[in-house]
Every structure is written in structure tokens, then in C-alpha cells.
Amino acid sequence: MIKAGIIGSTGYAGGELVRLLLGHKGVDLVWYGSQSYAGVKYQEVYRNMFQIVDAECIDEDLEQLADEVDIIFTAAPQGFLASRLSEAILSRTKVIDLSADFRIKDVLAYEKWYQLTHNSPQYIEEAAYGLCEINRETIKSARIVANPGCYPTCSELAIYPLLKEGLIDSRTIIIDAKSGTSGAGRGAKLDNLYCEVNENIRAYQVTSHRHIPEIEEQFSDAAGSPVKITFTPHLVPMNRGILVTAYASLAKDVTWDEVRAAYEYIYKKEQFIRLLDRGVCPETRWVRGSNYVDLSFEIDERTGRIVILGALDNLVKGAAGQAVQNMNILFNFPENEGLTMAPIYP
């Protein structure tokens, strides 16, 4: 049994971490960190935890927390962990960060896209990028795990096998992605009010979304050469879910079965990757509340392009579920521990 603490436990991703960790057989969740709700009982913030969690929210003191737990999850805004991380903390505990502070190896790119000065650049190189299905061996020995973003997780898992096996022209990747409103966090924002979102769909941060450098860096590693993408996110009126539809030109003539074989080769042992049958498209409703990623593709012989589709729950596999999966790898738990729940429907 290990002890865990969460910084930012009252945000959407933090709340999902609480839900998942309470069902984990190897974890004792002892710290419900929240700057906004310090001193307030957690069940008063989230009434679904009534008579389940009796603990009070605690202020976000990383130094004290490092003395009390084996693993810290930081579900805080960008810049929080980078401004507080120290060797003293890392010598006493491991950290899984759900922000972007340690995802991007190029510190100048991070500072440009996030408009922040990075205050702990000395830890960037050692941080493991926590895309479990691809970086499992690196994660095992890490002190810091940078949990990938929700859009990047779906995009990277959908396209990685095609880049790794050289099946697509890396210069032609276009990603159209749609997300539910929980991806924007729990803070009050005009654009996320019910009347602004309901009965509407809109693109945002066109050509400038801050997940672009994260995706490009991972694609470049897979392809073995620099990759630039076109990425356009959209907000849709639902609570959870991400649907990615991506396009690329094929690098050579391949059949549907040959492309399928590439996916099966890369993901043959991956419980949380579900390769759908031919002609079946991923839908967010079939992954809601789960750690699964549903993937499919179709070859457009007329244009010589391939259409790749992926769906996941942005709060689970796109955030908290992947963080728990990373923790399981770090502490040698079964990788699916606490994550075997079936998707919720309806």
C-alpha cells in the first residue's frame, strides 16, 4: 500500500483522480489539496463523495506533502509545479504532473506557447513523457512523469503507428479535434457558460493552440525527423469526450489490412487501445467514464490519403486515468489496477 496526495483535487481532473484512486487496491489517498477550498470538507465541494470522503481539503504545501506521501499528483495550472519543484521534494517522493510544465523538452517552445518563464528547466530532460503505451520503459524509473495533454493523447495514439512504420507523409498531417467543455477546467469563464456553449460548436485557437508543440515533438520522435502539423480544436456542447479526425497522405500504396497490421503490431498487448472493426467509427459515448481509446481508419484510394479517427474521455485517459496508469507503472502495480471500469452508457 502506498500513500498518495493530490494538489488541485477540486478541479475536474483532480476530482476524477479522487474517484479513481478511491477504487485502487494499492493506494491510500491521504491529501486532498485545494487552495480555493482549504478547510472545507471535500464532500461539501463534490456531493457525490458524501459519506465516502470525510476529509477536509488542505492547502497546497508541496514540501509538507512530500514528507507524507509516496506519490504526488499535481492537477494545477501551468507553472505551478515548475515554480515549486526542488531536489528536496524529489528526494522524498515521486511526482506525476497533469500540467504542461515538463511535457515539452524545448524550454523555449514551452515559454513561447504558454507565455510563461519556466522556473525549473533543470528537470525537463529527466521528466518522462507519460504516454504509457509508447514510453512505458522510460516511465518505470522516473522521478517526474509529465502526464500528456488530452488532445495530444488522442492524436498521438491515433497516428503514432503510421509514423513509426513510415506509412504516411509526415508533412501532410491535419488534425481536426473536438472536445467537451470539461477540458477547459472548472473555473468560471464566459465562453463556457451554458448559454454560450449549448446548441453551438466553434473552433478556437486556430493555428495557435498550445498543444501543438507537444504533439509535434512526439511525432518528430516517432518519425525520426521534424514534423509540423495543422491542428484545429473545437468546443462542442457535451461534458466529456474528445473525438479526433486526422488526415494524411499515404507514403506508399498499402491495403487496409496492411495498415491494420501496423496498428496491431504496435498495440497488440495494450488493454486500453481498442481497434475497431472495419467500417466502425469511434464515438465519444462508447468511451465515456473509461480509460479506453477507440481507434479506426479508412483509406481514401481516390485521393491517396488516409483518415484516422480516435475517441477518448478527456478526464480519464486524457488526464486522471492516464495519471493512475503512470502511477501503476512507477510502483509496479498491475497496469490496469483501478482502471478496469467499463464505459458509462447512456
pLDDT tens figures, 189-201: 888 888 999 999 9
Domains and CATH numbers, the chain: 2-126 (3.40.50.720), 151-313 (3.30.360.10)
> Is residue 325 within 8 Å of 272, Cβ to Cβ?
yes
Which segments in the chain show pLDDT lower than 70?
A: none
Q: What pLDDT, on a 0 to 100 scale, did the predictor assign at position 343?
A: 98
Is 132 an annotated catalytic residue? no
Q: What pLDDT, on a 0 to 100 scale, did the predictor assign at position 190?
A: 86
Q: What pLDDT, on a 0 to 100 scale, did the predictor assign at position 189?
A: 81
Q: What pLDDT, on a 0 to 100 scale, did the predictor assign at position 107?
A: 97
Q: How far apart are CA 25 and CA 54, in angstroms?
A: 19
Side-chain half-sphere exposure of 320, counting CA atoms within 13 A: 31
SS3 260: helix
**List of residues 6+ apart from 295 with CB closer than 8 A:** 157, 158, 263, 273, 274, 275, 276, 282, 308, 309, 310
Q: What pLDDT, on a 0 to 100 scale, did the predictor assign at position 158?
A: 98
Q: How far apart are CA 151 and CA 247, in angstroms?
A: 15
Q: What pLDDT, on a 0 to 100 scale, did the predictor assign at position 110?
A: 98
Q: Please indicate, yes or no, whether the overall pTM of this predicted structure exceeds 0.85.
A: yes
**Could you tell me the maximum CA-CA distance found in the chain, to the nearest angstrom?**
62
For strand 128-129 and strand 230-235, is the pairing parallel, antiparallel, or unpaired? unpaired
Residue tagged active-site, from 57, 150, 154, 281: 150
Q: What pLDDT, on a 0 to 100 scale, did the predictor assign at position 79?
A: 97
> Mind listing the pLDDT tens digit for each residue in 7-43?
999 999 999 999 999 999 999 999 999 999 999 999 9
> Is residue 37 within 8 Å of 53, Cβ to Cβ?
no
Q: What pLDDT, on a 0 to 100 scale, did the predictor assign at position 191?
A: 82
Q: What pLDDT, on a 0 to 100 scale, did the predictor assign at position 134?
A: 98
Provide the edge-to-edge strand list for the sheet that holds 27-33. Answer: 27-33, 2-7, 71-74, 94-97, 144-146, 128-129
